[in-house]
């Protein structure tokens, strides 16, 4: 038993923890959990916890259903919520999913991201990520298909608003900090009920774990405040959707590989090729970074959501932005990818973004000219004339692009690639089969 495992067992005893929740994520990004008593944890460290993988979306076939969850002691945290029954505490750990022979599961999103991080490490890089996560607070999510009601009437950076949860952000930040998730900023976003919380940078795998924990904790804090939180990309037709703007950087040891003090933008050749890789493969990775039918309502509406594979310095209408706040600070040189939304699977999203950027570096992609104006306000003809390729504007288009992509197939692995496509095509066909209120309102008289 290693020191981390010993620390976990000792903490459970000292803090009188009653249950430990072992967390993992399915291919779509839904959080899964199994609770174990502390007395069983030593065995779980040694042998893992067996479960029926065929019962989890995309994990395994019935004939190969034996699957094992092995808790990662480095992710141990005591949850910030006490039991309503007896006030007892519980803890959680993320798990790596393996097969009975000990080999990593081909369906585990954590393993998909870890593979890309290992490729980066072979090239001498460590990838760091810093997401800006937007979401809505609404009075209820049980609306029977009707539009929800925002929990407040606030706007961008509003300090004081009349709402149903005035202490939500303070409670949320306290809860996040208690489980080791460092928060950099928080504020009210532009739409009524819309919030943004930015997490302090961490390596890509740790951050993907943090995003999964973030979504769980935010929903719990919202409930405790008498409202509900939703990470649906665009729940309101009249307001901007919720993004997960993702800042990425590569470090070589202690040195930021994206920084060049002699460049006008302080952006190195490595950083430029990384951006070029993401732009080149933008349409192919779109179905992963924006995985839901609803995701494309946000993309097609504009409102600072990127429509084309373009980049710019400080340009929030571009897909990739080079922030210029602290351009002379080497450690801060990074790129911001603005396509991902808050309902993406963070493991798969970071994996395909990293894969695209690394391919740009490996193959020395050339970065095109930056976008100078507001790309969102350009017509399609103007965007084509400027050399910008439009991003997919619906899930059907995105899936067709993904099906042709060797990069995404390699990044996700055959099993996840095939299952993801199969699952998302089913979602698209189900969506197409619906008769919407808009159609009935506009076509019923014919």
Residue 333 annotated as part of some ligand binding site: no
Question: Which of 207, 165, 210, 362 shows the shortest CA–CA distance to 276?
Answer: 362
Residue 264 annotated as part of some ligand binding site: no
CA distance 302 to 331: 31
Alpha carbons within 13 A on the beta-carbon side of 189: 23
Q: Are strands 202-203 and 90-98 parallel, antiparallel or unpaired?
A: unpaired
Instruction: Give the list of residues 6+ apart from residue 413 with CB closer than 8 angstroms, or none.
Output: 106, 112, 115
Residue 324 annotated as part of some ligand binding site: no
Residue 336 annotated as part of some ligand binding site: yes
User: What would the two tokens of residue 22 be?
Assistant: 């072992």
Do 307 and 383 form a contact (C-beta atoms < 8 A)?
yes
Residue 245 annotated as part of some ligand binding site: yes
User: What would the two tokens of residue 216 be?
Assistant: 């769980």
Helix orientation angle between 269-280 and 346-362, rounded to the nearest 10 degrees:
120
Residue 196 annotated as part of some ligand binding site: yes
Residue 134 annotated as part of some ligand binding site: yes
CA 249 vs CA 126, 198, 296, 315, 426: distances in Å: 8, 16, 27, 18, 35
Do 24 and 105 form a contact (C-beta atoms < 8 A)?
no
Question: Which of 77, 84, 95 shows the shortest CA–CA distance to 15?
Answer: 77
Do 38 and 20 form a contact (C-beta atoms < 8 A)?
yes
Residue 18 annotated as part of some ligand binding site: no
Do 295 and 349 form a contact (C-beta atoms < 8 A)?
no
CA distance 6 to 3: 5
CA distance 143 to 154: 22
Do 98 and 105 form a contact (C-beta atoms < 8 A)?
yes
Beta bridge partners of 203: 128
Do 1 and 45 form a contact (C-beta atoms < 8 A)?
yes
Residue 74 annotated as part of some ligand binding site: no
Beta bridge partners of 199: 183
CB atoms within 10 A of CB 90: 15
Residue 189 annotated as part of some ligand binding site: yes
Which residues does the annotation place in the binding site for L-glutamate? 298, 304, 316, 338
Which residues does the annotation place in the binding site? 132, 134, 184, 189, 196, 245, 247-249, 298, 304, 316, 336, 338
Which residues does the annotation place in the binding site for ATP? 184, 247-249, 316
Which residues does the annotation place in the binding site for Mg(2+)? 132, 134, 189, 196, 245, 336
């Amino acid at each position: 038993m290693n020191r981390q495992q010993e620390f976990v067992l000792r903490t459970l005893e000292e803090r009188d923890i009653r249950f430990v929740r072992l967390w993992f994520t399915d291919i779509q990004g839904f959080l899964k959990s199994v609770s174990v008593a502390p007395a069983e944890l030593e065995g779980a460290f040694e042998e893992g916890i067996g479960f029926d993988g065929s019962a989890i979306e995309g994990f395994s076939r019935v004939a190969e259903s034996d699957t094992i969850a092995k808790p990662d002691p480095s992710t141990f945290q005591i949850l910030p919520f006490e039991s309503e029954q007896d006030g007892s505490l519980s803890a959680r750990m993320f798990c790596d999913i393996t097969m009975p022979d000990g080999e990593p599961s081909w369906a585990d999103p954590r393993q998909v991201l870890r593979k890309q991080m290992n490729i980066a490490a072979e090239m001498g890089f460590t990838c760091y990520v810093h997401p800006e996560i937007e979401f809505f607070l609404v009075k209820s999510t049980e609306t029977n298909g009707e539009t929800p009601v925002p929990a407040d009437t606030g706007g961008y950076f509003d300090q004081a608003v009349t709402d149903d949860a005035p202490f939500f952000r303070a409670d949320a930040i306290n809860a996040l900090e208690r489980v080791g998730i460092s928060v950099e900023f928080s504020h009210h976003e532009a739409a009524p009920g819309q919030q943004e919380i930015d997490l302090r940078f961490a390596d890509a795998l740790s951050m993907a774990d943090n995003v999964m924990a973030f979504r769980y904790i935010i929903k719990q804090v919202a409930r405790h405040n008498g409202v509900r939180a939703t990470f649906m990309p665009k729940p309101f037709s009249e307001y901007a959707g919720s993004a997960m703007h993702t800042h990425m950087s590569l470090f070589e040891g202690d040195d930021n590989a994206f920084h060049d003090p002699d460049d006008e933008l302080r952006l190195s050749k490595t950083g430029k090729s990384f951006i070029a890789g993401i732009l080149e493969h933008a349409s192919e990775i779109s179905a992963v970074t924006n995985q839901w039918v609803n995701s494309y309502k946000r993309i097609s509406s504009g409102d600072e959501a990127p429509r084309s594979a373009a980049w710019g310095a400080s340009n929030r209408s571009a897909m990739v932005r080079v922030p210029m706040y602290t351009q002379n600070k080497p450690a801060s040189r990074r790129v911001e990818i603005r396509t991902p939304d808050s309902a993406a699977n963070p493991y798969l999203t970071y994996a395909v973004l990293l894969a695209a950027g690394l391919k740009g570096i490996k193959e020395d992609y050339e970065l095109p000219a930056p976008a100078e104006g507001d790309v969102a306000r350009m017509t399609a003809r103007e965007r084509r004339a400027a050399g910008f390729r439009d991003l997919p504007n619906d899930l059907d288009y995105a899936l067709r692009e993904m099906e042709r992509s060797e990069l995404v197939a390699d990044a996700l692995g055959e099993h996840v690639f095939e299952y993801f496509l199969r699952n998302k095509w089913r979602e698209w066909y189900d969506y197409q089969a619906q008769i919407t209120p808009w159609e009935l309102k506009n076509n019923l008289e014919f």
